[in-house]
Chain A
Amino acid sequence: MSALSTAFTKALNPYKGRGESEQIQLAVIDRSMRGPALLFLISAVLWLLAGTVFALMAAIKSHTPEFMAESAFWTFGRVRSAHLNAMIYGWSNNVIFAVGLWLMARLCRAPIRHGGLLYAAGVFWNIAVTVGIYGILAGDMTSVEWIEMPPNVVPLLTLSYALIAVWGIVSFRYRRGEHVYVSQWYILGALFWFPWLYFVSQTMIIFAPARGVIQPITNWWFAHNVLGLWMTPMGLAAAYYLIPKVLGKPIHSYYLSILGFWSLALFYNWAGVHHLIGGPIPVWLQTAGIVGSVMMVIPVIVTAVNHHLTVVGEHSAVWKSPTLRFVVFGAMSYTLVSLIGSTMSLRDVNEITHFTHFTVGHAHHGVYAFFTMIMFGAIYFMLPRLIYREWPSATLIRIHFWCCAIGIGVMLVGLHVGGWIQGMQLNAVTEDGVPVYTFLEVMQNTRPWLMSRSFSGILLTIGHLAFAINFAWILLRVQPGPEASGPTLLQGESVGGGK
């Protein structure tokens, strides 16, 4: 890194050389976000638990189909969709609203004014998601992937989203100071991208359906971009903020972060069509999707360099800080999942992995091992600063981390290996062109791997319960404990870095 860029990074890093007045400023901002952020976080944690229950049910059903098969309400197709929507629109969006808006307000040094509107919008958002998920289970599902909730909740979701997201933009508009940090671009971009994607897909698939296969094309442009242009930028924004913040050192390279942002914005957009490779859509479109997916290597490598080189040499700090332990796990997962994703888009690989549990594993690699783990880290950082209390139990944090890390690890190995075998066996033919395995044999062979997923689900449930208990505990505890002297760490001493 050149001397110039070092100077640049230092100059642009808003966390350096903070005096007392800035501490007060931040406290005012935190205070202004406190109520709305708590509303979103509590909703997020409740949705996480609900989504976990749906996930366990779906996982068990996948290898033991007789499990809860008595009523249509709990049939597999509905429960797995309830799981997905609870995790995306319940857990992810709520945690994004809390963390994204709070980061935006902090980085813009602009307190949220009129937070009352945020409360109302947050309540309406969660009512809409609740009604929507009930609708899925009750039989009003659309069967369009990632927008399964019945159309009657869409207006309320859209309106409450607008009333929530506008505060991020207002914060940016009234920001103080010259510097705009990379996290702010990611949050701003995501706040604009999500409604566009949602509006276009709802219109072209549900309200004024486009002709034939234009629907699935629009569907995958949308669904992949919810991960790529909504959850990923928010996850990266949090990582870009938290890694340097907790370590008390600037991000590795400012220039790389610009390149990473614009290449992600340009290429991720195009990647979604890789979900339809080999399908009845124009071949040039599939090729465009593959090119977009492979080009994603650029932003991924750039972001990896930036995150991982910032962390290099600070491993003991990372290990001690609950925030960093989760965030760095997420950042490492991002690198890995993205490179696997680019590989999966290649036709020869896709021929095997398409239509198998490999893809399911890959989806959890992105949404869970990357996005959700970073958001856990962000909550560990954010909540003590909002309510001036420390996390009551380091043991519960440790349980949370290990159950989730091992749990998701087991799931990823199970689904990737099981899915790969499934794909190879589906495609295997004898010299005469006859399939080697019957379809039933292939499905039977996936059972042990699906059982390993249920086992991983139990671990994840334990982790989430530990997190929820700690979360309720920190909120409900009235008396300040001895922890008031310093942050809760996972090993003895304290870690450097800002408040």
Chain B
Amino acid sequence: MKNLPLLFLGIFFCIAFSWTGIVLSSHVQLGALEPATEQYVNPNTGDAITGVMASVEKEDGSSIQVEGVPAPGETLHPQAPVGLAQQGKQVYISLGCMYCHSQQVRHEGFGNDIARNWGLRGSVARDYVLQDRVLLGTMRTGPDLAAVGNRLFDAAGRDWHHSHLWDPTITSPGSLMPSFRFLYEVRPVGSKPDKLVVNIPNGHPSAPPPGYEVVPTAEGEALVEYLLSLRVDYSLPEAQLPE
């Protein structure tokens, strides 16, 4: 191989081949994926169908498979993240949380994710279509967070997250997670503005001095709202929640 253009063509072909095969064809397959209702309906008859593809009868009596359509009037999932939760995602990104916490639940029968209650069902591509940055993650030094909002929600979940971020050993003794106390502020009790006060057991090593309280900064509040927003409690045509 002494010829630069020929060598270059070979080099080009190899990368173009894998780019086409991996990146471009997944774009073709998944690039137009939209949120869906829990079940699709047959576009001709309007009947609910199982799965994604519906069987449609043609004039000559034969039938073809076409993609179903969302059931009219029903809620579409997933829904776009909004407001404070979206700001919290920036905090999550900036702190590099995804290097210890994945956001993908493997299906029943491959790994132990469902048995660990990390999700009600395995994650599918459609769960991620509205995310501006997809943080699947490849490491689990901490638990998977794809559906952490299913486990920790409402006021109790918010309290839990704040205590845990201030000092993980409060909620999870022996945890290897670092403290994120720089997302909090220690201030005299009763300062303004009123804020949620982090719940720290009396006498805990990380408790503030008497007369002081721990409150989240704006970043801390946003991060917790993001974590609360990570809920996968809906079915999709291709991924039904178990009965």
Q: CB within 8 Å of B: which residues of A?
A: 61-63, 65-66, 69-72, 75-78, 80-81, 139-145, 148, 172-173, 178-180, 185, 188-189, 192-193, 196-197, 200, 204-205, 209-218, 221, 225, 229, 258, 262, 265-266, 269-270, 272-273, 275-276, 278-282, 285, 288-289, 292, 347, 351, 354-356, 359-360, 426-429, 433-435, 439-440, 443-444, 446-447
- Cβ distance B114 to chain A, nearest Cβ, rounded Å: 9
Instruction: Answer yes or no: B197 CB below 8 A from chain A CBs.
Output: no
* Contact A429/B33 with A66-B178, A66-B179 known, Cβ cut-off 8 Å: no
Q: Is the CB of B30 within 8 A of A355?
A: no
Listed residue (B31, B112, B129, B177) with the most chain A CB atoms within 10 angstroms of its CB: B112
User: How far does the alpha carbon of A81 sit from the alpha carbon of B139 in the complex, in Å?
Assistant: 13
- Can you name 9 A-B residue pairings with CB atoms under 8 Å? A75-B180, A78-B95, A139-B95, A211-B27, A211-B32, A212-B129, A218-B23, A278-B110, A355-B140
- Cβ distance A62 to chain B, nearest Cβ, rounded Å: 7
Instruction: Answer yes or no: B4 CB below 8 A from chain A CBs.
Output: yes
Q: Is the CB of A217 within 8 A of B23?
A: yes
Q: Is the CB of B2 within 8 A of A212?
A: no
B180: nearest residue on chain A (CB-CB)? Answer: A75
Q: Is the CB of B178 within 8 A of A69?
A: yes
> Which of A278, A285, A435, A443 is in CB contact (< 8 Å) with B26?
A285
User: How far does the alpha carbon of A86 sit from the alpha carbon of B143 in the complex, in Å?
Assistant: 28
Instruction: Answer yes or no: B17 CB below 8 A from chain A CBs.
Output: yes
Instruction: Answer yes or no: B7 CB below 8 A from chain A CBs.
Output: yes
* Contact A355/B1 with A212-B33, A278-B107 known, Cβ cut-off 8 Å: no
Q: Chain B contacts of A172 at CB under 8 A?
A: 4
A-contact 0/1 string along B116-154, CB 8 Å cutoff: 100000111111111111111011111100000000000
> Which of A77, A179, A213, A360 is in CB contact (< 8 Å) with B125?
A213
B102: nearest residue on chain A (CB-CB)? Answer: A355
- Cβ distance A57 to chain B, nearest Cβ, rounded Å: 12
User: How far does the alpha carbon of A285 sit from the alpha carbon of B183 in the complex, in Å?
Assistant: 40
Q: Chain B contacts of A279 at CB under 8 A?
A: 104, 106, 123, 136
- Chain B 1-57 residues near chain A, CB threshold 8 A: 1-2, 4, 7-8, 10-12, 14-15, 17-19, 21-23, 25-27, 29-33
> Which of A76, A278, A440 is in CB contact (< 8 Å) with B99?
A76
User: How far does the alpha carbon of A258 sit from the alpha carbon of B7 in the complex, in Å?
Assistant: 12
> Which of B23, B93, B175 is in CB contact (< 8 Å) with A143?
B93
Instruction: Answer yes or no: B97 CB below 8 A from chain A CBs.
Output: yes
Q: Is the CB of A140 within 8 A of B94?
A: yes
> Which of A192, A359, A426, A446 is in CB contact (< 8 Å) with B111?
A426
Instruction: Answer yes or no: B75 CB below 8 A from chain A CBs.
Output: no
Q: Is the CB of A217 within 8 A of B133?
A: no
